């Protein structure tokens, strides 16, 4: 395979999380909750939170450098940087800041927003850029600092989210394609189930000309509806991606889901008839890190030796939009 029609290999991964964290016990001093209440409903034990001095782009750059080092790709060789995030440092985007920080001077860089599905959508986007022969070395990053957008008085949401970043390096492979199949979906009619909406006050500029001035309100979520949505759609989208890959669930070595809620992950694995030992979970340590959760979980599994070269991984992201998707890939070059 050469030029147009090149295959794709994921050759490196990396992650970064803030040092400071908030345990369930500590959170119970802020809002009416308890360690037992949080763990029994979510599986979360603590969440890492970015200090005011830590930017989204800094976390993303740290994860990116680690991924490039594993892939043995220099920043100068990167053609494209895709940053999946809903919480950029700058509303115009943060990918270019990451490009500057890691000194990937040749790369075009832009943000991509699909909430908790963002990393998966960015991975598919990178795949298509490589398959068409446009780029050969693509850095895909998922990063979020949702701690800055939750209502810390709302126990339904503040217990869930942590901050972090994860990255992978996708490279053109002229002999094989390790992205085996994928499926993506959106349903904007369910946007109210999970959103971080803009709100503002009317500003009259002149008679008949009004604009709105404001900011984004804290994240809101209908937990019951999101659970129903995820448990119904995630197994379905993974099965569709498997069909495109000409594989079955018996071929899956590891299931790496968006780390939203342990109950969701357990229900999805049950419906796919996958044993718990095939499910990668670090939810207890980090909570829901949105677009960062899949690459963060993958990176820890690779570096611990759990995921090995040639393993077949099924992954799914799901979240606000609503958006969801599934992808099947073989780890390594």
Closest CA to 159 of 30, 269, 274, 65: 30
Q: How far apart are CA 152 and CA 165, in angstroms?
A: 22
190, 315 Cβ separation under 8 angstroms: no
Cβ atoms within 10 Å, residue 36:
10
262, 283 Cβ separation under 8 angstroms: yes
Indicate if 116 belongs to the active site.
yes
Pair type for strands 209-216 and 198-206: antiparallel
Indicate if 191 belongs to the active site.
no
Q: How far apart are CA 148 and CA 87, in angstroms?
A: 8
Indicate if 288 belongs to the active site.
yes
- Decide: residue 223, CB within 10 A, 0-12 exposed, 13-18 middle, 19+ buried: middle
48, 300 Cβ separation under 8 angstroms: no
Q: Find the catalytic residue in 116, 178, 195, 282.
A: 116
The dihedral through the CA atoms of 324, 194, 168, 20 has a sign that is negative
Alpha-carbon distances, residue 269 vs 93, 103, 247, 281, 288 (angstroms): 35, 40, 17, 12, 18
Q: How far apart are CA 109 and CA 290, in angstroms?
A: 20
Q: How far apart are CA 128 and CA 172, in angstroms?
A: 11
167, 67 Cβ separation under 8 angstroms: yes
Three-class secondary structure of residue 3 per DSSP: coil
Q: Find the catalytic residue in 24, 158, 258, 282.
A: 258
Per-residue burial over 174-199, b if 16 or more Cβ lie within 10 Å, else e, is: eeebbbbbbbbbeeeebeebbbbeee
**Catalytic center residues:** 116, 258, 288
């Amino acid at each position: 395979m050469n030029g147009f029609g090149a295959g794709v290999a994921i050759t490196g991964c990396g992650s970064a999380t803030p040092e400071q964290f908030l345990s369930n016990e500590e959170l119970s001093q802020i809002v009416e909750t308890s360690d037992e209440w949080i763990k029994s409903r979510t599986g979360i034990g603590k969440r890492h939170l970015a200090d005011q001095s830590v930017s989204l782009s800094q976390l993303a750059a740290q994860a990116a450098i680690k991924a490039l080092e594993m892939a043995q790709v220099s920043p100068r060789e990167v053609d494209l940087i895709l940053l999946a995030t809903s919480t950029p440092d700058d509303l115009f985007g943060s990918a270019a800041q990451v490009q500057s920080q890691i000194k990937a001077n040749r790369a075009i860089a832009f943000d991509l927003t699909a909430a908790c599905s963002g990393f998966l959508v960015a991975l598919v986007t990178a795949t298509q850029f490589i398959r068409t022969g446009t780029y050969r070395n693509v850095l895909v990053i998922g990063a979020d600092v949702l701690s800055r957008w939750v209502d810390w008085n709302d126990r339904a949401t503040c217990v869930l989210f942590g901050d972090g970043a994860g990255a992978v390096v996708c490279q053109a492979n002229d002999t094989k394609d390790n992205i085996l199949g994928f499926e993506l979906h959106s349903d904007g009619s369910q946007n109210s189930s999970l959103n971080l909406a803009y709100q503002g006050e009317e500003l009259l500029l002149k008679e008949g000309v009004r604009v709105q001035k404001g900011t984004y309100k804290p994240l809101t979520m209908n937990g019951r509806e999101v659970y129903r949505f995820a448990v119904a759609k995630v197994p379905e989208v993974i099965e569709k991606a498997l069909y495109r890959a000409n594989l079955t669930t018996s071929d899956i070595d590891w299931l790496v889901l968006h780390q939203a809620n342990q109950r969701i992950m357990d229900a999805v694995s049950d419906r796919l008839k996958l044993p718990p030992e095939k499910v990668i979970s670090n939810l207890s340590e980090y909570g829901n890190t949105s677009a960062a959760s899949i690459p963060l979980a993958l990176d820890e599994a690779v570096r611990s030796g759990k995921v090995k070269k040639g393993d077949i991984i099924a992954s799914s992201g799901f979240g606000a939009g609503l958006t969801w998707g599934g992808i099947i890939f073989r780890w390594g070059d």
